[in-house]
Amino acid sequence: MSDTAAPHPAPPNLAIPQALACGVCCYDLAGLPPTGLCPECATPVASSRQSQLLLDANRGYVSGLCTGSRWMLHSAWLRIVVVAL
């Protein structure tokens, strides 16, 4: 007999116990398995469980938001300067 124990079977997919809104359509995902899909928009439940903070977002996406914000700020300042002249 070998010294290595048999691996434990994977736990069953437990349903999401608390209210969790889908990240796309805001459907309540409570009771669905974490490996399932949203019944409204077919978005994977796992992606809705991830953080929605910009801190955890893709760096390219955040960079694009910063660039767009800068353009809006500069255009506002340019409009003020043009009106003041």
Tens of pLDDT, residue by residue over 17-52, are 778 888 888 888 888 888 889 999 998 988 877 766
Average pLDDT over residues 1-21: 62
pTM of the complete model: 0.45
- Measured CA to CA, the distance from residue 23 to residue 21 in angstroms comes to 6
pLDDT score of 12 more than 60: no
pLDDT score of 10 more than 50: no
pLDDT given for residue 3 in this prediction: 53
Contact 43, 22 (CB under 8 A): yes
Helix spans in 2-58 (H)? 45-49
- Measured CA to CA, the distance from residue 28 to residue 48 in angstroms comes to 11
Number of other CB atoms surrounding residue 22 within 10 Å: 21
Task: Domain ranges for the chain, please list them.
Answer: 13-50, 54-84
